[in-house]
Amino acid sequence: MSRFSLKHLADSTLDAAIESVAARDRMSTADLLAHIAESDARKRYVPAGYHSMFAYCQGKLRLCEHAAYKRVSVARAARKFPVIFDVIADGRVHLSGMVLLVPHLTPETVDELIAAATHKTKAQIELLLARRFPSPDVPTRIQPIASELSRELAPGRVCMTTSEQSVDDVAPQPESSPQLAPTPPAPPARVKPLAPERFELRATIDQETRELLQQAQNLLGHRVPAGDVPQVLKLALKALVEQLEKSKFGAGSMPRKVSGSNDSGHIPAHVKRAVWKRDGGQCTFRGAGGHRCEARRDLEFDHIHPVARGGDHSIGNLRLLCQAHNQFEAARAYGPDFMEEKKRAAIEAREAAKSRAVNAGATATVMSGAC
């Protein structure tokens, strides 16, 4: 049996094992950082045929450039502040979070910043740093991305290095006289904290979105005279969120009377509003350790006491669950065999619908040819 096949493990054994493996993984990461730090200090990459520790990590250790950059950056900082090894090993701060902290670490700040970042997500650490080291607002700019790409002859470096490192020592230089690189896919949208309650938004939009933005700016001329894009986006998102909440959750400022319904699955709008507000628009599932699921997407109304077993549509019998936890609770209530049968039935229904659509299209084509 392959060591990677774990189907034979009981749930309790799997739960304990995954935590143990994660702990070993953190320790292994700390060990690798220590070895990279010492090898880098001794320049052992030179006799191995690499011009930098960064290149060695990519070529010899088979790390991607982002993984190599993170480890070299943190390893060098850990030589100055050895506490970093222990912090990574015991999981107080993950590697990506430590990369964010490294540029701000000094003998005076290292202990304080590590304590503040302990057990924080990457996004939370970004917010922490934005509050302590605020950056100025970025100017609003909309321009075709082709003008930027046409000047980029080779992929850029992973990141700027710390003050004590030369750029050549961390990232490889582009080949001489490189060919123009093919246009890469647009980068994903990014929201980056700059300072308390200030964020930078970067995204790539298509022509239709650009035209809609211009239309909105024109229509809002009396309310936003300068056509300020952040204000336009704020107004548009407020309207969109209000519309989506009304359609999906029955949310609204004024309750409306709802006529009776014979549909056993119908939940009155005023009940949806109350449940949505009470649960804060977030999945309410809590794990064995008390951690509440943080999902705010794909939320569904779940009956604590199932309707099929006499449950009603009262506020007290409803809660918000994400799709995954809704299915999990259904499996606990009805059993895994029941859920598997429901999944199979749903798949068969989708396949039947596709087949009907294909057949309908073929019939229409035949009739068109006959005409």
Of residues 68, 87, 77, 94, the one with CA closest to residue 41 = 77
Is 363 part of a structural domain of the chain?
no
Task: Pick the last residue of a domain from 117, 135, 153.
Answer: 135
Residues 36 and 95 in one domain: yes
* Per-residue model confidence (pLDDT) at position 368: 56
Is 361 part of a structural domain of the chain?
no
Residues 53 and 17 in one domain: yes
Question: By CB neighbour count within 10 A (0-12 exposed, 13-18 middle, 19+ buried), where does 185 fall?
Answer: exposed
Is 368 part of a structural domain of the chain?
no
Helix (H), strand (E), coil (C) string for 115-184: HHHCCCCHHHHHHHHHHHCCCCCCCCCCCCCHHHHCCCCCCCCCCCCCCCCCHHHHCCCCCCCCCCCCCC
Residues 336 and 285 in one domain: yes
Measured distance CA(23)–CA(153) in Å, rounded? 42
Of residues 27, 62, 28, 55, the one with CA closest to residue 39 = 55
Measured distance CA(20)–CA(39) in Å, rounded? 28
Of residues 99, 136, 135, the one with CA closest to residue 117 = 99
Contact by Cβ (8 Å): 77, 84: yes
Residues 231 and 329 in one domain: no
Is 353 part of a structural domain of the chain?
no
Residues 244 and 274 in one domain: no
Is 164 part of a structural domain of the chain?
no
* Per-residue model confidence (pLDDT) at position 367: 57
Residues 107 and 76 in one domain: yes
Helices (H), the chain: 11-42, 53-59, 65-80, 83-89, 95-101, 110-117, 122-132, 146-149, 167-170, 207-219, 229-249, 269-279, 323-334, 336-370
Task: Pick the last residue of a domain from 110, 135, 160.
Answer: 135
Residues 230 and 328 in one domain: no
Q: Give the residues of the chain that fall short of pLDDT 50.
A: 147-184, 258-262
User: Domain range spanning residue 62?
Assistant: 11-135
* Per-residue model confidence (pLDDT) at position 142: 73
Q: How many domains does the chain have?
A: 3
Is 124 part of a structural domain of the chain?
yes
Residues 130 and 68 in one domain: yes
Is 362 part of a structural domain of the chain?
no
Is the pTM higher than 0.85?
no
Residues 18 and 114 in one domain: yes
Residues 227 and 294 in one domain: no
- The CA-atom distances, in angstroms, between 268 and each of 161, 243, 256, 274, 275 are 57, 17, 9, 10, 11
Q: Is 299 helix (H, G, I), strand (E, B) or coil?
A: strand
Is 339 part of a structural domain of the chain?
yes
Residues 275 and 220 in one domain: no
Residues 280 and 223 in one domain: no
